[in-house]
Amino acid sequence: MPRESFAIGPARVRAGATRDLELPITRLITGADVSLPVRILHGREDGPVVWLNAATHGDEVVGVEVIRRVLASISPRTMRGTLIAVPVLNVLGVMSGERYLPDRRDLNRSFPGSARGSLASRIAHLMMTEVVAKCEVGIDLHTGSDRRANLPQIRADLDDPRTRELALAFGAPVLLHARVRDGSLRHAARERGATVLLYEGGENWRFDEWAVTAGTDGVRRVLGALGMVDGPEEPGGPSVECRASGWVRARHTGFLHLDARLGQQVETGERLGSVSDSFGKTLRLVRADRTGIVIGRSEAPVVNGGDAVVHIASTEVR
């Protein structure tokens, strides 16, 4: 007996079919309609319903390319379950390369949203009702913000066994235990009972190939662990599990020279770089404030005193 059709928006997607949809969001001041592009792959055989989304922050585009590559590698004729892809969730932010929406709201603080709220709130509501409510697992793809590059990592509630299992399957170099934040997609989706992984990798407004590759391989491994696609996928990892992290801040204004690389193991007090004046005179050294792994670093040439410059995930159990 063939699998039942999948209902989303005004559409019914047949088993074994791919369907592209434009879900209406609002109308611009010019009168043009704004809609959310969504692709549904409804597999021939039964299996879990999973969503992938990118660009919750409009300048974080690594995940857009991750989703493109994942979609190019699977077919609804052979896969099990259903995949809903939302490559540009913050559709207006992506148009202008902006993190936030034109109404200055952070979409990732606007969940679960409402049908009559601000623009951000409406996009959040649409995502929740048409996508998240139909899924049991989701992966939210992010990058660093504001000239910061992130080591490929999964941020998730590692105390939840199901979440931890999928995070391990992803196989990123670091798994960072992160409590959910109010208003985030991850928080709202958890409340709905979905298992959510948040991927961080690369820098904003760039296609960092190493972050795209790690993200694509990780997503495919999770789909494999869920039984949606067949291997043989190379296992990822090994992943280092971290329970806490913190930023080292610049202690002087000046030009930043960082020696610390993403993924580097550092010890408390170790030199990570320096801040210098315009002639190269060292003003302050940047030193590790904890023992751990460098999971994020500033790519900015100039920093102000107090700016976050190196993100270290603790590997010491406290």
Q: Which residues bind Zn ion (CB under 5 A)?
A: 57, 60, 142
Q: What is the nearest approach in angstroms of Zn ion to the Cβ of residue 142?
A: 4
Residue number, 60 or 203, with CB nearest to Zn ion: 60
Q: What is the nearest approach in angstroms of Zn ion to the Cβ of residue 296?
A: 12
Q: Cβ-closest residue to Zn ion? A: 142
Q: What is the nearest approach in angstroms of Zn ion to the Cβ of residue 313?
A: 17
CA end-to-end span of the chain: 55
Q: How many CB atoms lie within 10 A of CB 198?
A: 23
Q: Are residues 250 and 306 in contact, defined by beta-carbon separation less than 8 angstroms?
A: yes
Q: What is the nearest approach in angstroms of Zn ion to the Cβ of residue 105?
A: 14
Residue number, 82 or 90, with CB nearest to Zn ion: 90
- Backbone φ and ψ for 109, nearest 5 degrees, come out as -120, 15
Residue number, 145 or 291, with CB nearest to Zn ion: 145
Structure tokens of 252? 């002087």
Structure tokens of 48? 């879990």
For residue 32, give the DSSP letter.
Answer: -
Q: Are residues 216 and 66 in contact, defined by beta-carbon separation less than 8 angstroms?
A: yes
Q: What is the nearest approach in angstroms of Zn ion to the Cβ of residue 26?
A: 22
Q: Which residues of 257-273 are buried (b: 16+ CB within 10 A; e: fewer)?
A: ebebebebebeeebebb
Q: How many angstroms from the chain centroid is the CA of residue 227?
A: 22
- Is the Cα torsion angle 195, 213, 141, 173 positive or negative in sign? positive
Residue number, 60 or 273, with CB nearest to Zn ion: 60
Distances (CA, A) of 236 to 122, 152, 239: 37, 12, 8
Q: What is the nearest approach in angstroms of Zn ion to the Cβ of residue 270?
A: 28
Q: What is the nearest approach in angstroms of Zn ion to the Cβ of residue 312?
A: 19
Residue number, 97 or 269, with CB nearest to Zn ion: 97
Residue number, 68 or 109, with CB nearest to Zn ion: 109
Q: What is the nearest approach in angstroms of Zn ion to the Cβ of residue 153?
A: 13
- Backbone φ and ψ for 210, nearest 5 degrees, come out as -65, -35
Residue number, 116 or 179, with CB nearest to Zn ion: 179
Per-residue DSSP letters for 185-235? HHHHHHHTT-EEEEEEEEETTS--HHHHHHHHHHHHHHHHHTTSS---PPP
Residue number, 164 or 186, with CB nearest to Zn ion: 186
